[in-house]
Structure 1
Amino acid sequence: MVKKFKKTFNIGFNSILLAFGLYFFLVQHKIAPGGVTGISLIMANLFTILTVGQWSLLLNITLFILAFFLMGKDFGKKTVLSATIISLAIMFFEKYFPNTILSNDMIINIVFGAGIESYALSCIFFNDASSGGTDIVAAIFNKYFRISLAKSLFAIDFLVVMLAIKEFGIEVALYAVLCVVIQSFGFNYFIQGLGRKIAITVISDFSNEINQMILGKYKRGVTLYKAEGGYSHKKRDIILTVVPFRKYISIKDDILKIDKNAFVFTHSISEVLGEGFTYGVFE
């Protein structure tokens, strides 16, 4: 129950953060960053009867109805939450901060807008949701036409940029292209960072004591490898455990307290699946 609440809270918070980055750094400067927000910005400029946030909400509702019939009723329940919050948050910013400009420097707006958006989106994905919008279109194309998600999303973003050239001019559209590129690199960086853990390997004559310490004090899973020294031919256990980065220093210190001559080496892991991490006993 607590884990479900934390996921829902993270989805909601990062959806608002995503809307903040989109509105204050991109939408306010007519930069169409692809996706539903980019389409909504163009539509709001063409048909002023609705604002960007209202167009976003209308388009997302339409896409979710389409997904319901084409993808099934269980498709993306958490995505509905995220997409709705993003649209409502943009509408809130439009109403209460209509003329707020944080910076007139386009490079600053591109970097911060794309950076905040990619970070928030990676957090939303990390909590098993998405921001909806063109993700739904890509999923439909993937299911019915066997077009990959990456190709579908690229084609949609490319189409949005082409429309932006006509509506806002080539210079602003080029800023939008730069924004999409930064978003892509930023998303990949952040999504790997959020799942990143550290693997600790320990070779020691006190492997039993170190094993008990990791299991008892830190509640982390441990794997023991049977090994033999290449020179001494002495048999011993090699300890392997995978932990969050924040726990590494304290575990390392405790290992060295047990055996100051322990041979310890580590390496980073971008993602871990399984007991203790994604559906764990130890979390």
Structure 2
Amino acid sequence: MNYKVNKIISIIFNSLLLSFGMYFFLVQHSIASGGVTGISIIISKWFSFLTVGQWSLILNIILFIVAFVFMGESFGKKSILSATIVSLGIMFFERVFPDTILTNDVIINVLFGAGIVSYSLSRIFFNDASSGGTDIIAAVLNKYFSITLAKCLFAIDFLVVMMAVTEFGIEKALYAVMTVIIQSVGFNYFIQGLGRKIAITVISDYSEEINKMLLSKYDRGVTLYKSEGGYSHKKRDIILTVVPFRRFPSIRDDILDIDKNAFVFTHTISEVYGEGFTYNVFE
């Protein structure tokens, strides 16, 4: 139960963060970087009797109906909570902070807007939810026309940017393209997790000494694999441990102090769960 509650709280918080990033850094400066919010920015210029937030809510309601009709109830439910909060959040900021401009520097707005949006979106997706919007259109096209999701989303964002060219000019459209690119890169980075660690693998004739050093000096968990050299057929223990990035330089030096001929290689771990990282055995 606590896990589900935490997921809901995370979805609500990050949906509010998403609406904050969109409103203060993108909507306020007419940077239509794709999605429902980008479409709403353009439509609000054509039909100014409704605000960006209101148009966003209307479009999301329409898309919810499409999701339920074409994709089924379970898919539609996943989009409702986050997308509704994002639309209502933008409407709230429009009403309470109608003339508040945090900065007029377009580059800062693009960087912070894209950064906040990509981070909050990644956390929403990480909690098995969706911000709705054009994701629904992409899912429908993917299901019925076998067009990949990536191509669908790119095509939709491209159309929004082209619409922005006619409404806001080529310069704003180029900033929108920059925002889309940064959001894509940022999303891919954040979705893999913020708690990156480094896995160290060591092949050495002094595996016992290195194992003791890691256990006693650094208090790290160690796994030993039995191995055999492909050429020499010599039996060895392969050492595997996972540590924070900042610990690697000193651990590497200590390994080479024990065995200057040790074969050491590393790879990045996106997220680590378990004893010593997400919980302690004595808690």
TM-score range, shorter chain: 0.7 to 0.9
**Stretches of structure 2 lacking an aligned partner (at least 5 in a row):** none
Counterpart residue identity of residue 206, structure 1? E
- The equivalent of 1:122 in structure 2 is 122
Q: Are the aligned partners of 2:222 and 2:239 in contact in 1 as well (CA < 8 Å)?
A: no
Q: Are the aligned partners of 2:15 and 2:85 in contact in 1 as well (CA < 8 Å)?
A: yes
1:6 Cα deviation from its structure 2 partner:
2.9
Aligned positions of 1:1-283 closer than 5 A:
1-75=1-75, 77-194=77-194, 196-202=196-202, 203=204, 204-206=206-208, 222=223, 224-227=225-228, 235-242=235-242, 245=244, 249=247, 261=258, 265=264, 267-269=266-268, 271=270
1:79 Cα deviation from its structure 2 partner:
3.1
1:272 Cα deviation from its structure 2 partner:
6.2
Q: Are the aligned partners of 2:199 and 2:269 in contact in 1 as well (CA < 8 Å)?
A: no
Q: Are the aligned partners of 1:79 and 1:130 in contact in 2 as well (CA < 8 Å)?
A: yes
How many residue pairs align between the two structures? 272
Identity value in percent = 60
Instruction: Measure, in 2, the Cα distance between the counterparts of 1:221 and 1:80.
Output: 45
1:168 Cα deviation from its structure 2 partner:
2.1
Moved more, 71-80 or 142-151: 71-80
Instruction: Measure, in 2, the Cα distance between the counterparts of 1:14 and 1:207.
Output: 47
Instruction: Measure, in 2, the Cα distance between the counterparts of 1:154 and 1:148.
Output: 10
Counterpart residue identity of residue 117, structure 1? V
1:178 Cα deviation from its structure 2 partner:
1.9
Classify 1:7/1:207 alpha carbon distance in 2 versus 1 (closer, same or farther; 3 Å): farther
1:136 Cα deviation from its structure 2 partner:
0.9
1:26-76 deviation line (CA, Å, top 9, x unaligned): 100111111000011112222223211121122112112211111111116
1:98-153 deviation line (CA, Å, top 9, x unaligned): 10001111122112111221222222222322221101111111111011111111
Counterpart residue identity of residue 19, structure 2? A
Counterpart residue identity of residue 266, structure 2? H
DSSP-derived class of the 2:236 partner: strand
TM-score (norm 2): 0.79
Q: Are the aligned partners of 1:32 and 1:42 in contact in 2 as well (CA < 8 Å)?
A: yes
Counterpart residue identity of residue 227, structure 2? K
Classify 1:56/1:281 alpha carbon distance in 2 versus 1 (closer, same or farther; 3 Å): same
Counterpart residue identity of residue 53, structure 1? G
1:76-112 deviation line (CA, Å, top 9, x unaligned): 6443222122111111111111100011111221121
Q: Are the aligned partners of 1:227 and 1:238 in contact in 2 as well (CA < 8 Å)?
A: no
**Stretches of structure 1 lacking an aligned partner (at least 5 in a row):** none
Instruction: Measure, in 1, the Cα distance between the counterparts of 2:51 and 2:226.
Output: 61
Instruction: Measure, in 2, the Cα distance between the counterparts of 1:268 and 1:84.
Output: 40
Classify 1:176/1:209 alpha carbon distance in 2 versus 1 (closer, same or farther; 3 Å): closer
Q: Are the aligned partners of 1:111 and 1:179 in contact in 2 as well (CA < 8 Å)?
A: yes
TM-score (norm 1): 0.79
Counterpart residue identity of residue 74, structure 1? S
Counterpart residue identity of residue 267, structure 2? S
1:11 Cα deviation from its structure 2 partner:
2.1
Classify 1:242/1:80 alpha carbon distance in 2 versus 1 (closer, same or farther; 3 Å): farther
Moved more, 260-269 or 75-84: 260-269
